[in-house]
Amino acid sequence: MSDQMSDQPQDNPFWSPAVAQLQPYVPGEQPKTTARLIKLNTNESPYPPSPKAQAVLQQEGLAAHLRLYPDPESAELCATIAAEFGLQPDQVFVGNGSDEVLAHAFYSFFKRPEPLLFPDITYSFYPVYCQFFEIEARKLPLRDDFSIAVEDYAVENAGGVILPNPNAPTGRYLPLAEIEQLLQLHPQRVVVIDEAYIDFGGESAATLIDRYPNLLVIHTLSKSHALAGLRLGYAMGQAHLIEGLNRAKNSFNSYPIDGIAQKVATAAIADRAWLVDNCAKVIATRERTCAALTEMGFDIVPSKANFIFAKPPKISAEALFVALRERNIIVRYFNKPRISEYLRISIGTDEEMDALVEACREVL
Ligand SMILES: *Cc1c(COP(=O)(O)O)cnc(C)c1O
């Protein structure tokens, strides 16, 4: 149940050698029934999505429309995203979840002889894509407080840079001035900023797109828009980068976004008021939870995300993970160097977080 990837080479006579070598990403547990569970392990929203997005699913004739292929370009959706960020529609690319957008970005920009730079502690899909696309990874250590040391990225002959901002699973935010330093360090290479959690208190780098031809910003509807089940992510950057992504996408799958998802996502993106309100609720709950856990002696990394990264006092993170699971609360534990004493706890409702705090008090 903890996050250990099997590094045993698997074997099967029918598999290609490449597949036998893969060490796939292991997602957080998605239990069959969540009825009695408090699920704080995969950073989903505790609240349902925008009523305007939900209303799309009630529209007459929606299912009958499925006989047609969807718009391969998701034009209306791209135009809506562009308008929201003051960009042109040809500066937006959409994909089936931001994981798919990331995959196309790795293939389009990072598949080169030089190594890709990213933090040693970060989203664990990055090394998986490196293996899948045969890209050399160069992991740069975070400082002891888990902040990113931008000066370490002054590596000659890098193939590109990728990092989440806020970082995952630490929740730490890197100010835009430092993102600009990264962009200036590698003017001939793409710098991808994966902003899956940016709406929970950070400032998006999307405002820098017009000044930096090497910047690609990636967003998802899975976290702040409460649409993890819809599978929708997008990238924003200058048109020449978007064209690169489209070349990869149209060499793989012309129709990655179904017609219903395009409509729901368009309504969700247009409802900015709902987004702001939803994030404000999550942020308020995050701050109360941090205060309660800090008082109990937890060591918490400053978070601008919809989760916190916390080191428990007295007992090991693994022991607390197990004890919480016995009390029907699931959080995420990473059995990896440097972070094995921390738990990543998604922010739920106030009631769910009160239950978590109470359970921790009992265990400790
Ligand atoms: C959740 C997450 C994603 C993936 O989001 P999907 O759109 O659901 O595929 C990408 N990057 C980071 C850092 C994430 O935490």
At residue 35, the pLDDT reads 74
Alpha carbon of 195 to ligand 1 centroid (Å): 9
Identify the band that residue 2 occupies on the pLDDT scale cut at 50, 70 and 90. very low
Average pLDDT over residues 115-138: 98
Mean confidence (pLDDT) of the chain: 95
Q: Candidates 93, 94, 98: which one to mutate for ligand 1, based on the most atoms within 8 Å of Cβ?
A: 98
Radius of gyration of the CA atoms of the chain, in A: 21
pLDDT in the model for residue 9: 62
Residue 3 is predicted with a pLDDT of: 42
CA of 220 to the centre of ligand 1 (A): 6
Distance CA 225, CA 227 (A): 6
Domain segments of the chain as ranges: 28-48+273-363, 51-270
Please report the pLDDT score of residue 33 as a whole number. Answer: 75
Q: Please tell me the predicted confidence (pLDDT) of residue 187.
A: 98
Q: Does the beta carbon of 233 sit less than 6 angstroms from any atom of ligand 1?
A: yes
- CA-closest candidate to residue 101, choices 67, 83, 78: 78
Measured in angstroms, how far is the CA atom of residue 251 from the centroid of ligand 1? 23
Give the number of the atom of ligand 1 that is nearest the alpha carbon of residue 122: 13
Question: 26, 94, 194: which to mutate for ligand 1, most atoms within 8 A of CB?
Answer: 194
Give the whole-angstrom CA distance, residue 360 versus residue 357: 5
Residue nearest to atom 14 of ligand 1 (CA): 196
Return the structure tokens found at 353. Answer: 């977080």
Distance 198 CA to ligand 1 centre (A): 12
| Cα–Cα distance, 267 to 54 (Å, whole number) | 9
pLDDT at 288 over 80: yes
Ligand 1 and 194: CB distance under 6 A: yes
Residues 5-20: tens digit of each pLDDT: 455 567 899 999 999 9
Is 185 close to ligand 1, i.e. is its CB under 6 Å away? no
CATH topology of domain 28-48+273-363: Aspartate Aminotransferase, domain 1 (3.90.1150)
> How much of the chain exceeds pLDDT 70, in percent?
97
Nearest ligand 1 atom, CA 164? 13
Residue 219 reports pLDDT greater than 60 = yes
Closest CA to 135 of 162, 154, 156: 162
Q: Does the pLDDT at position 213 exceed 60?
A: yes
* Residue 97 in contact with ligand 1 by CB distance below 6 A: yes
Mean pLDDT of 249-270: 98
Look at residue 333 and tell me whether its pLDDT is greater than 60: yes
Question: Is residue 298 pLDDT above 80, yes or no?
Answer: yes
- 88 has a pLDDT exceeding 80: yes
Tell me what pLDDT residue 8 has. Answer: 59
271 lines ligand 1 (CB under 6 A): no
Give the CATH fold of the 51-270 domain: Aspartate Aminotransferase; domain 2 (3.40.640)
Closest ligand 1 atom, CA of 168?
13
How far apart are the CA of 154 and the centre of ligand 1, in A? 27
Cβ of 256 closer than 6 Å to ligand 1, yes or no, is no
Instruction: Kindly report, residue by residue over 133-142, the tens digit of the pLDDT.
Output: 999 999 999 9
Residue with tokens 């089936």: 96
* pTM for the model: 0.96
Q: What is the mean pLDDT of residues 174-178?
A: 98
